[in-house]
């Protein structure tokens, strides 16, 4: 399972909010990247003048060597697809325009974008604009003058109080407002925690063998090792922690394993807390979509069982919208000073937005919104299962008792093929390989599977996306 299996994908965020999904696969990553970029220019998905990401950024996003990106850029500059000036960003060459407008390929982007079922996306058309504005109006009217100042760097107390009540009620989190820190997204909270762990002398954070590259990058960039725990049908293999040296924390997604979708079994939940108690380590509980569960019994957060052994992370990105850039963590007393020190003396999250979210939660609008989304997502999930049972009865669908996506288990060795077929249908889905630690599973053979985010499209686009999905199943 060496380089020849390595696949990689990323969303390029370009100017004017244009995002471009770039998939690089095949035995030679450099050639794959060059082809993917050339095709993106040729088809018009990358428009003339558009700035490409810095080679460093793209390399990090794709999890490949920077030199590979530099060489791809250089080759495409030599070919005339891109332009580069000393010290300035690489851009799509202007002359590519003529080529674009004279080919039929220009219609491709429109078709591709109709069936986006990629993880991380959501049905943004459902953002509760009117209710949010109502909360904003109330919050702004009620705000005392000091609310317009620099703010408490740990977060506005109104929001921390509202979250404490909400998290205790919905996720069984033991959350005194004083333990809650408001952040600008999970990424931000994890960065602060990593700094605090380093300050404590921690050298490594164990991670699940399936997860997001972005977070693994963040941990290694901070200077932490990231040994991986295998993931099976009971979640992460907590017992593997015992063989690992210098590990002071473990990053887990207990409610809904990030990408395989399994819930951590009761035995392993207990084992994780035991490990923390015995070793003095800490569990980092990423409860990214804990609000969305369908037919299984709700499982509370690990944190409620041992608030001193767990840092709990939640976010408004899945339940409301990533655009808010608001998340929260609930921190053990013992880590609070170091995490607060890492956050520094300057607030980074808009105070007005914090007050609006506090009002949105306190008024019950948040609960109503989550309930309504949950019903809608459950309906889609049921439709997905039914449609697949009809058109592809051999495909096992897993990881869907909760969360916003399902995992479609594929016959071994077919993932890359199915992804190519999907791409030809303009269907944007992810393969499981993309989330594998280090680009591959360190423990055992890769699992061939599609990760289908059924919450990513609007209600009107869903039926045709589902139809396209069924049509590419082997």
How far apart are alpha carbons 177 and 160 in whole angstroms? 5
Q: Which is nearer to a second copy, 1 or 13 (CB)?
A: 13
Residues 132-171 interacting with a second copy (rule: CB under 8 A):
132-133, 136-137, 140-141, 145-153, 156-157
Report residue 274 as tokens: 């035991």
Please say which residue, 14 or 470, places its beta carbon nearer to a second copy: 14
Q: Is 254 in the site for a second copy (CB under 8 A)?
A: no
Pick between residue 87 and residue 243 the one whose CB is nearest to a second copy: 87
Residue from 192, 171, 366 nearest 256 by CA: 171
Of 393-432, which residues contact a second copy (CB under 8 A)? none
Nearest distance from C-beta of residue 146 to a second copy, angstroms:
6
CB closer to a second copy out of 323 and 385: 323
Residues within window 188-207 making contact with a second copy, judged by CB under 8 A: 188
Q: Which is nearer to a second copy, 5 or 317 (CB)?
A: 317
Stretch touching a second copy by CB under 8 A, among 115-123, 255-263, 268-276, 378-386: 115-123
Q: How far is the CB of 81 from a second copy (least distance, A)?
A: 19
Using alpha carbons, select from 48, 28, 45 the residue that is nearest to residue 37: 45
Rounded to an integer, what distance in angstroms lies between the CA atom of residue 208 and that of residue 236? Answer: 6
Q: Which is nearer to a second copy, 159 or 452 (CB)?
A: 159
Closer by beta carbon to a second copy, 41 or else 60 = 60
C-beta closer to a second copy: residue 26 or 322 = 322
- Interaction with a second copy in 448-467: which residues (CB under 8 A)? 458
Q: Which residue in the set 56, 95, 169, 277 belongs to the binding site for a second copy (CB under 8 A)?
A: 56
Question: Least distance to a second copy from the beta carbon of 71, Å?
Answer: 17
Helix 29-42 with 66-79: angle, nearest 10 deg? 40
If you write DSSP's letter for every residue of 72-123 in order, what string do you get?
HHHHHHHHTSEE--TTS--EE-TTHHHHHHTSGGGGHHHHHHTEE--TT---
Give dist(CA 450, CA 444) in Å, integer: 18
Provide the minimum distance between the beta carbon of 58 and a second copy in the complex, in angstroms, as a whole number. 9
Site mask for a second copy (CB under 8 A), range 26-55, x = bound: -------------------------x-xx-
User: Per-residue x/- mask for a second copy, residues 9 to 28, rule CB under 8 A?
Assistant: ----xxxxx-x---------
Identify residues 223-252 at the interface with a second copy (CB under 8 A).
Answer: none
> How far lies 178's CA from each of 137, 153, 181, 325, in Å?
26, 12, 8, 21
Residue-wise DSSP of 377-396: HHHHHHHHHHHHHHH-TT-E
C-beta of 322 vs 426, nearer to a second copy? 322
Least distance to a second copy, CB of residue 124, Å: 4
Which of 364, 286, 369, 358 lies closest to 321, judged by CA?
Answer: 369
Half-sphere exposure of 290 (CA within 13 A, CB side): 28
- Look up tokens 């699940």; give the residue: 208
Tell me which of 2, 4, 78, 87 binds a second copy, using CB under 8 A: 87
Among residues 77, 108, 121, 170, the one that binds a second copy under rule CB under 8 A: 121
Instruction: Find out whether 63 and 213 touch, Cβ atoms under 8 Å.
Output: yes
Q: How many residues bind a second copy (CB under 8 A)?
A: 71
Find out whether 451 and 259 touch, Cβ atoms under 8 Å.
Answer: yes
Min dist CB 334 to a second copy, Å, is 4
Site map (CB under 8 A) of a second copy, residues 318-357, x = contact = ---xxxxxx------xx-xxx-xx--xxxxxxxxxx----
Within 289-318, the residues that bind a second copy by CB under 8 A are: 317
Work out how close the CB of 221 gets to a second copy at its nearest, in angstroms, rounded to a whole number.
9
CA atoms within 13 A of residue 264's CA, in its CB half-sphere: 29
Query: Which uninterrupted H or E stretch holds 165?
Result: helix 157-171
Tell me the C-alpha distance between 30 and 250, whole Å.
33
CB of 30 to a second copy, least distance (A): 20
Minimum distance between the CB of residue 345 and a second copy, rounded to whole angstroms?
A: 6
- Shortest reach from residue 47's CB to a second copy, in Å: 14
In the bound state with a second copy, the residue whose beta carbon lies nearer, of 262 and 276, is 276
Q: Which is nearer to a second copy, 90 or 257 (CB)?
A: 90
The long-range contacts involving 119-122, CB below 8 angstroms and separated by at least 24 positions, are 119/259, 119/405, 119/430, 119/451, 119/453, 120/11, 120/453, 121/453, 121/455, 121/456, 122/318, 122/321, 122/322, 122/404, 122/453, 122/455, 122/456
């Amino acid at each position: 399972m060496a380089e020849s299996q390595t696949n990689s994908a990323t969303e390029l965020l370009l100017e004017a909010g244009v995002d471009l999904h770039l998939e690089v696969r095949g035995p030679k990553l450099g050639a794959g990247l060059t082809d993917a970029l050339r095709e993106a220019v040729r088809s018009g998905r990358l428009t003339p003048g558009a700035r490409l990401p810095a080679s460093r950024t793209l390399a990090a996003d794709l999890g490949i060597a920077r030199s590979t990106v530099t060489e791809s850029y250089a080759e495409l500059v030599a070919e005339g697809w891109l332009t580069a000036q000393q010290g300035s960003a690489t851009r799509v060459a202007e002359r590519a325009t003529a080529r674009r407008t004279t080919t039929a390929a220009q219609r491709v982007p429109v078709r591709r974008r109709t069936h986006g079922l990629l993880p991380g996306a959501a049905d943004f058309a459902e953002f509760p604009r009117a209710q949010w504005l109502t909360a904003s109006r109330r919050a702004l009217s009620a705000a005392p003058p000091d609310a317009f100042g620099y703010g408490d760097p740990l977060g506005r107390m109104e929001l921390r109080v509202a979250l404490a009540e909400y998290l205790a009620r919905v996720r069984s989190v033991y959350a005194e407002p004083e333990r809650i820190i408001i952040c600008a997204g999970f990424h931000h909270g994890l960065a602060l925690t990593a700094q605090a762990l380093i300050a404590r002398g921690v050298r490594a954070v164990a991670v699940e063998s399936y997860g997001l590259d972005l977070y693994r990058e963040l941990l290694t960039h901070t200077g932490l090792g990231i040994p991986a725990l295998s993931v099976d049908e009971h979640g992460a293999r907590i017992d593997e922690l015992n063989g690992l040296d210098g590990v002071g924390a473990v990053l887990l997604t207990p409610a809904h394993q990030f990408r395989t979708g399994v819930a951590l079994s009761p035995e392993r939940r207990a084992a994780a807390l035991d490990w923390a108690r015995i070793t003095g380590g800490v569990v980092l509980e990423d409860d990214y979509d804990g609000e969305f569960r369908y037919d299984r019994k709700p499982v509370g957060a690990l944190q409620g069982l041992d608030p001193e052994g767990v840092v709990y992370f939640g976010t408004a990105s899945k339940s409301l919208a990533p655009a808010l850039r608001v998340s929260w963590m609930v921190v053990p007393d013992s880590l609070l000073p170091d995490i607060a020190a890492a956050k520094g003396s300057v607030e980074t999250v808009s105070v007005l937005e914090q007050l609006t979210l506090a009002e949105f939660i306190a008024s019950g609008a948040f609960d109503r919104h989550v309930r309504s989304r949950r019903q809608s997502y459950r309906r889609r999930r049921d439709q997905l299962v039914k449609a697949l049972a009809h058109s592809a009865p051999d495909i096992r669908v897993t990881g869907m008792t909760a969360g916003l996506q399902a995992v479609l288990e594929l016959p071994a060795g077919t993932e890359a093929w199915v992804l190519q077929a999907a791409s030809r249908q303009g269907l944007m889905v992810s393969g499981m390989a993309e989330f594998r630690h280090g680009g591959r599973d360190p423990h055992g053979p890769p699992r061939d599977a599609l990760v289908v985010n059924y919450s990513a499209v609007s209600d009107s686009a869903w039926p045709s996306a589902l139809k396209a999905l069924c049509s590419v199943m082997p």
